[in-house]
Amino acid sequence: MRVEIWSDIACPWCYVGKARFEKALRDFPYRDEVEVVHRSFELDPGRAKDDIQPVITMLTKKYGMSPAQAEAGEDNLGAQAAAEGLDYRTRGRDHGSTFDMHRLLHFAKEHGRQEQLLDLLYRANFAEERTVFNDDERLVELATAAGLDAEAVRAVLADPGAYADEVRADEREAAQLGANGVPFFVLDRRYGVSGAQPAEVFAQALAQAYGEPAPLKAVGSGDADADACGPDGCAVPQL
């Protein structure tokens, strides 16, 4: 069975949702038969590489909230990340274009290191002090830590067209599947799971997709869509 996950490195719910999905996958009896493929989705497609701003500033502009409300939302997100065993810096992070990171993830996929690079990018963005935006050498360091060749990584970053088509193809496919936010999980093209659902929902979807051929169906927690990020930004949990 193949699970495709559309996500963005700038999306906190993608960071949390990945951990929740992996918790369900660890307990899935047929986990060794599951192939996980990560797909590209930019929350800010076309954003200039040097267009970087603090996360709190971005939240106040996008949602019209006060800085205190934005900080409270980040504190709540940090608590939810911690509940999944994830580190999360609630202050001092920034926000920018993730296009180059997605290009590198496609390069890493060719070399069997996509999962390793994605985890390092998430941690660098959400838990570490040094920025991942508009800093090619930072991306080189992370890619080499994932097992990729430094000079080959620099060559990809130096060529804006390298793997650009692959990123855009993923994004077009997401639109065709009806995904207008991330994270978005597609299980064997049978079931779709939108948002950072509880691990129990992912476990249900894995079981259903494994044993029941069917057209693509939505699987959710029942009451409402789970938290996700979309073109208009990320849902910010309030205290």
User: Which is nearest to 158 in space by CA: 131, 143, 136?
Assistant: 136
Residues in the chain: 239
Residue 237: pLDDT over 60: no
Bridge partners for 182 per DSSP:
229
Q: Cα separation of 204 and 200, whole Å?
A: 6
Per-residue b/e over 171-206, b at no fewer than 16 CB within 10 Å? bebbeebebebbbbbbbbebbbbbbbbebebbbbbb
Residue 213: pLDDT over 80: no
Average pLDDT over residues 39-47: 94
Q: Cα separation of 126 and 118, whole Å?
A: 12
Residue 62: pLDDT over 60: yes
Quick check: pTM over 0.85?
Answer: yes
Q: How confident is the model at residue 165 (pLDDT cuts 50, 70, 90)?
A: very high
Calculate what percentage of the chain has a pLDDT beyond 70.
90
Residue 66: pLDDT over 90: yes
